[in-house]
Structure 1
Amino acid sequence: MRRITVIGSRGQLGHDLMDSLTAAGHQITGLTHQQISIEDPDSIAGALRQTPPDLIINTAAYNKVDLAEQEPEVAYAVNALGPRHLARYCSEKNICLMHISSDFVYGLDTSRQIPFQEHEAPGPVSAYGLSKLAGEYFVRALCPQHYVIRTCGLYGVAGKTGNGNFVETMLRLGKERDELSIINDQHCTPTATKDLASALTRLIGTDQFGLFHATCQGQTTWYEFACTIFELTGISVKTHPITTQEYKAPADRPRFSVLDCSRLTATIGDAIPDWKSSLRRYLESQGEICPK
C-alpha cells in the first residue's frame, strides 16, 4: 500500500486512476486545479504539505492544441515548467513521480508507418507538442525516480461532464447532423482511460522507472474511429474522409503517432486491450449499446 497523490483528479484519466488505485488498496489523495497549480512551486509545496505522498501522479496539462499556437508561453508554463517544478520537489523530498505525456511529441517524420519505440528520437510539430516534450525532459533529468508515460487519444467517463472527448463529440454530432467530415490521414491509437489507469496501477507496483509508451493495442485514423463509433451505436450519419490540410486547423498534428507499447507489456506482464474492444466496453458502460 502506498500513499499516492493524483494531480488532476477530476480529469478523465485522473478520475479513473482514483478508482483503480483505490481498488488496489492504495491510500489516495486527489487534487484539482483549484487545490494546486503546478505552475507555482509555492502552491505545490502548500498542497502537498498536509498529506506527503510516496508517489505523485501528474495528469494536469494544457491540452488546447490549437490555442497553444497563439499562447505558447501558457502551454509551456503548464506542460513544461509545471513538471519541472514537480520534478524538483519530488527529487528534494525523495518522492516518485509519474508524469503523463503525449504522442504529440512525434510528427516530424511524415513518412512513418511503424509504431514508435521509446528510444527513438521525437520530433514535435506544434507548440503543444514542444511543451509536452520539454516537460518530459525536465522530469527525466531532475527526478531520478520517475515514470514518464506517453499515451494517445484518451477518452473516459469524466469526459461527459468535463471538456468532453472524441467519442462523446461524435455521439453528439452523429445525432445532431446528417453529414460529418472527419480527418482520415492521422494514424493513432484511441485509448480508454479506464484501461490505461489499470495498466498504470500495475506499473507502479513494479518500481521499474523510466519512459513508457502506453496505449490500447492496434491503430486507426480519426475517420475510422468515428465510423466504428457510429457502427457500434447504430447511429446513421453520412461520413466523409478528409485530409489534415483540408481541415485547416491552426496547429499541425502528427500524421502517424502510433506507439509501440511492448516495453510496458513486458514490465506489467499484460497488454492493454485493443482499441475496438475498449471502445465497445466504454459504449456499453455509458448505455449507448447493449452488452453482448
Structure 2
Amino acid sequence: MKIAVLGAAGQLGRDLCPRLAVFGEVVPLSRAELDLERPESIRAAVESVRPDVFVNCAAYNLVDKAESAPEAARAVNDTGVEALATACAGIWAKLVHFSTDYVFGADAVRSAPYTETDPPGPVSAYGESKLRGEHAALAASANNLVIRTCGLYGVWGSGGKGGNFVETMLRVAGQGKPLRVVADQRCTPSYTADIADATVALLGRGAGGLFHVVNGGDCTWYEFAAEIFRQSGLTPSLTPITSAEFGAAARRPPYSVLSTAKLFAHDVPAPRLWTDALAAYLLERRNR
C-alpha cells in the first residue's frame, strides 16, 4: 500500500508518517509539491503519486485572520479540499482529512459532549470553512475518513514557527511574565501522538465516514495552562479571564467537547485522559 501525507512536516504529520509505515510505503508531500490554494494543480499532483490512501494534514488555521480574510480560509479548507477529494476519487484513493471542534459553537447552552450525529454550528469563518471541507470530503466517497480533533500539540511544534499552546505557556512563564488565559471555553486539547495512533487504528479497520478523535476528559484553556505548570513544577502568575476580555477577532465555541464513543463500535481504543497525555508530551519533549 502507498500512503501520501500532505503536511508531513507539521506536528500531526510528523507523528503520523512513521506510524503509517506499518501499512507500506509513505510518501511525505510538502506545499511545494501540492498546494491546496492552487486547485487546478491538485489532480496532476495526486495522479503523479497515485497513492492508495491520501492523508491531508494541511489546513488554513489562522482563526482570527480568517475573519477579515475568509476567502483565504475557504481556498484551502473548502475549495482545496473539494479538489483534493475529487482527485482522490478519480484514482479510487481513500482520503483521510482532519477537521476541528470549531465546527460547533452555535449552541450557547451545550454541556454534553458532541457526537458525530449532532448538527454542527460554527461561529467563525474558519469553522465554516472547515465544515464545508468536511462536506466535500464525505460527499466524494463514502470510503473517505474525516476526523475531527481539537487543540493539537506535539513535540514537532515545540520549536516551530507557530509552536503550540503548551510551548507558548512554558515560554512566557520562563520569561517571568504574567499570564492571562481564557477560562470560559471548554474543550479537550489533544496530543498529536495519540491522534496519530487512533488514526492508524481506524485505517487498519477500514473505517470510513466521520469520527471524533480527542484525548479523554475536558478542561478550559485556563485549566490546561494550570496543569501544564503543575506538571512542570512552575508557579507563574496565572489569571483566568473571559473570552470578551481576551478580545480575539474570531468567536470560539464556549463548549466544544467531542465524544469519542463511536470509536468503540469500531474496536478502536479511545485516547487516554488529557492529563495523562500532557504528562507523556512533557516527557517526550524532555527526551527529544
TM-score range relative to shorter protein: over 0.9
Task: Say whether 1:143 aligns with 2:141.
Answer: yes
TM-score, normalization: structure 1? 0.95
Q: Distance in 2 between matches of 1:286 and 1:57?
A: 25
Question: Could you tell me which of 97, 100, 119 is aligned with 1:99?
Answer: 97
The unaligned stretches of length 5 or more in structure 1 are: none
Task: Say whether 1:187 aligns with 2:221.
Answer: no
Q: Distance in 2 between matches of 1:230 and 1:141?
A: 43
SS where residue 239 of structure 2 aligns?
strand
Counterpart code for 1:224: E
* Match in the other structure for 1:133: 131
Question: Could you tell me which of 40, 47, 67 is aligned with 2:38?
Answer: 40
Cα pair 1:95 1:145 within 8 Å, conserved: no
Aligned residues: 287
Cα pair 2:115 2:260 within 8 Å, conserved: yes
Q: Distance in 1 between matches of 2:126 and 2:171?
A: 26
Q: Distance in 1 between matches of 2:63 and 2:180?
A: 20
Q: C-alpha displacement at 1:177, in angstroms? A: 2.7
Superposed CA offset, 1:149-188 (max 9, x none):
1000100011123321001101101111342110000000
The unaligned stretches of length 5 or more in structure 2 are: none
Counterpart code for 1:155: Y
Counterpart code for 2:278: L
Question: Could you tell me which of 28, 31, 42 is aligned with 2:29?
Answer: 31
Task: Say whether 1:173 aligns with 2:187.
Answer: no
SS where residue 15 of structure 2 aligns?
helix
SS where residue 122 of structure 2 aligns?
coil
Counterpart code for 1:255: P
Give identity over the alignment, percent: 44
TM-score, normalization: structure 2? 0.96
Q: Distance in 2 between matches of 1:16 and 1:90?
A: 23
* Match in the other structure for 1:280: 279
Cα pair 1:90 1:143 within 8 Å, conserved: no
* Match in the other structure for 1:255: 254
Q: C-alpha displacement at 1:25, in angstroms? A: 4.2
Q: C-alpha displacement at 1:64, in angstroms? A: 0.2
* Match in the other structure for 2:231: 232
* Match in the other structure for 1:112: 110
* Match in the other structure for 2:200: 201
SS where residue 286 of structure 1 aligns?
helix
